[in-house]
Amino acid sequence: MFDLPELNLKGKVSDEEWKLRVDLAACYRLVEHFRWGDLIYTHMSARLPGTNHYLVNAFGLSFDEVTASNLVKVDLQGNILDDTPYEINPAGFTIHSAIHEVREDAHCVIHLHTKETIAVASLEGGLQPLSQHSMFSLPSLSYHGYEGLAVNDDERARLQADLGNTNHMLLVNHGGLTVGPTVGDAFMRFYDLQRACEIQVAILATGQPAIAVPQPIQDNIYNQAKVVHSGSTGGQLAWPAMLRKAYRLDPGFAK
C-alpha cells in the first residue's frame, strides 16, 4: 500500500527535457540531504527550454521520493500537461508561476522554508554583511512582506515587483527564494543564501558585537568573484560535483 506508481519517461521525452528532469530531481534529493526541506511542502520548478511549460514536484511526495519521471509538467496556470497519476499543490505553485511569468532568465526557481532563512527574513535588519557568504547574496537581494498563505492572485504583482531583477529574496516570516538560468545556478545561490543566514544566526546567538564587512569590500565582491570563478558562474563549476553527490546518495532519482 506504500509503493509508488512506477513511472519511466526516459526515451519518451526529448534529451533536453530528460536532462532538465534529472537536474531538478537531483536538486530535490540534495535539498533533502542538506535538511532544507519541509516535509512535502515548498517547491523547486524549472522551465522547459523554448516553452512556457514547467516541471515541479508531485504533491504528496517527500523530496527523497522525487524522480526525474515523477516530476509533473504544468503550464503557468498550473494545469497538468503530463499523463500522470500525480497532482501538484496549486497554492505552492502560485509563487513560482508569478516569477516565471515575468523573469525570462529565471529558468529555475527555488523556494524553501529553512529555519535560518525564516529567522533572518524576520529580523528588522534582514541579512547583514557579516560573512563572506553574505557577500554573494547582498548585491542582488530583495524582500517581500508577509501576506499570509500565498493563495491570493493579487499578491502575485507585488511579489513580482519586489523581486524585480534580483536573484535572491527573503520572504518575511516565510523563507528564502533564489532564481537562476539553470538548476545549478539557482541551487548554488540558495546554498550561499542559506549559509549566510546560518552564519548570521550563529553570530547573533553569541550576544557579542559583530564586525561587518566594510562597504568598499562589499562593492568590489562581484569583481573578485569573477576571478575566483574564471568567467563561469558558481553553478556551472559546483553543480557537476553536486550532481555526482546526488548519484552517490541514491542514483534512483535519475529514473
Query: What pLDDT shows up at residue 164?
Result: 93
Query: What pLDDT shows up at residue 224?
Result: 64
Residue 208 CA to residue 212 CA, distance in Å, equals 13
Query: What pLDDT shows up at residue 172?
Result: 93
CA nearest 8: which of 64, 69, 61?
Answer: 69
Q: Which residues are paired to 170 by β-bridges?
A: 143, 176
Of all residues in the chain, the percent with pLDDT exceeding 70 is 92
Query: What pLDDT shows up at residue 148?
Result: 67
- In the predicted model, residues of the chain with pLDDT beneath 50 are 1, 227-231
Q: Identify the structural domains of the chain with CATH numbers, from first to last.
A: 15-244 (3.40.225.10)
Residue 65 CA to residue 8 CA, distance in Å, equals 14
Query: What pLDDT shows up at residue 94?
Result: 81
The pLDDT tens digits of the residues spanning 207-220 come to: 999 999 988 888 87
Give the 3-state secondary structure of residue 86: coil
Query: What pLDDT shows up at residue 222?
Result: 64
Query: What pLDDT shows up at residue 77?
Result: 81
Query: What pLDDT shows up at residue 151?
Result: 60
Query: What pLDDT shows up at residue 184?
Result: 92
- Residue 93, C-beta contacts closer than 8 angstroms, at least 6 positions apart: 43, 45, 56, 74, 78
Quick one: angle between helices 234-249 and 15-33, nearest 10?
A: 80
CA nearest 21: which of 63, 57, 51, 52?
Answer: 57
Query: What pLDDT shows up at residue 163?
Result: 93
Query: What pLDDT shows up at residue 230?
Result: 42
66's grid cell? 522525487
Looking at the chain, the number of H-run helices and the number of E-run strands are: 8, 7
